[in-house]
């Protein structure tokens, strides 16, 4: 019996969960799902229907990405992602999840929100980018000169932002942010969690992760 992770490869919340699981050297059985056809097995343990969901061996269900990250690093945290600045880190992650992400969705799907322009939505996103850029002027990463939980929790969303209009992002006035993002994207850890996984079917063989 193993822990079971329901995941969707391109979801930034699922990415941060897979990053923490791989980093902390936990092994799980990965069930890659399709958001439009969520398996009953997942909905039975978490009715809200979002990924990631982690079903622990002891039956406990974690269906918030940050809870999965916290569980993973509580098992093993070799490079001290958790620091004594946890409250500030969680506040920044909160801003990412509840403010930046709302604007990011509107920027990404601007045609669905015609009350404002794509440029307007991008400008709203930029408030958060400016904040990150300022932090990165002081340290190589958001809190320290090394990766912490905050970098890992946030960068999958900045990656998503960057891919909406790559040319704009490449020309944008955020040199530190671009360097930070590139380093995290190029890291072996990120590469390892972005391999393609076949969609899970109960009849198929289990997929070990990492
Ligand atoms: N607060 C949740 C958010 C997870 C979330 O919204 N995931 C998206 C995919 S990126 C999802 O599953 N959406 C449901 C759907 O699209 O049907 C977490 O941190 O785990």
| pLDDT attached to residue 67 | 98
Per residue in 193-207, pLDDT tens?
Answer: 999 989 998 877 788
For residues 113 and 181, membership in a common domain is answered with yes
Q: What is the number of structural domains in the chain? A: 2
For residues 107 and 170, membership in a common domain is answered with yes
pTM here is: 0.96
Report whether residue 157 contacts ligand 1, using a CB cutoff of 6 Å.
no
| pLDDT attached to residue 20 | 98
Report whether residue 28 contacts ligand 1, using a CB cutoff of 6 Å.
no
* Ligand 1 atom nearest 50 alpha carbon: 12
CATH code for the domain of 73: 3.40.30.10
Report whether residue 50 contacts ligand 1, using a CB cutoff of 6 Å.
yes
Query: Does residue 1 carry a pLDDT above 90?
Result: no
Average the pLDDT over 84-92 and give the result. Answer: 93
Average the pLDDT over 100-112 and give the result. Answer: 97
Give the domain extent around 143: 86-187
- Do residues 197 and 207 touch, judged by C-beta distance below 8 A? yes
For residues 136 and 95, membership in a common domain is answered with yes
Average the pLDDT over 143-150 and give the result. Answer: 97
Of the residues 50, 52, 159, which should be mutated to test ligand 1's pocket, given the most ligand atoms within 8 Å of the CB? Answer: 50
Nearest to 27 by CA among 64, 59, 52, 54: 54
Per residue in 26-69, pLDDT tens?
Answer: 999 999 999 999 999 999 999 999 999 999 999 999 999 999 99
Burial of 152-185, coded b for 16+ CB within 10 Å and e otherwise, reads: bbbbbbbbbbbebeeeebeebebebbbebbeebe
Show the CA angle centred on residue 16, arms to residues 12 and 17, nearest 5°: 115
What is the chain's mean pLDDT, rounded? 96
Judged on CB neighbours under 10 Å (0-12, 13-18, 19+), 132 is buried
């Amino acid at each position: 019996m193993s822990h079971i992770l329901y995941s969707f490869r391109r979801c930034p919340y699922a990415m941060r969960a897979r990053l923490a699981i791989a980093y902390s050297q936990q092994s799980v059985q990965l069930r890659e799902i399709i958001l439009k056809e969520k398996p009953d097995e997942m909905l039975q343990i978490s009715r809200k229907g979002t990924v990631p969901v982690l079903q622990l061996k002891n039956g406990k269900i974690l269906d918030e990405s940050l809870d999965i990250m916290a569980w993973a690093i509580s098992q093993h945290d070799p490079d001290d992602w958790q620091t004594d600045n946890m409250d500030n880190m969680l506040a920044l992650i909160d801003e990412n999840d509840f403010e930046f992400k709302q604007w990011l969705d509107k920027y990404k799907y601007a045609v669905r929100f015609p009350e404002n322009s794509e440029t307007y939505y991008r400008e709203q996103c930029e408030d958060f980018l400016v904040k990150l850029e300022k932090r990165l002027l002081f340290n190589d990463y958001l809190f320290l000169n090394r990766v912490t939980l905050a970098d890992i929790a946030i960068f999958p969303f900045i990656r998503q932002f960057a891919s909406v209009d790559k040319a704009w992002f490449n020309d944008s006035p955020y040199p530190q942010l671009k360097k930070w993002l590139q380093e995290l994207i190029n890291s072996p850890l990120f590469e390892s969690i972005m391999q393609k996984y076949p969609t899970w079917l109960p009849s198929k063989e289990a997929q070990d992760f990492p």
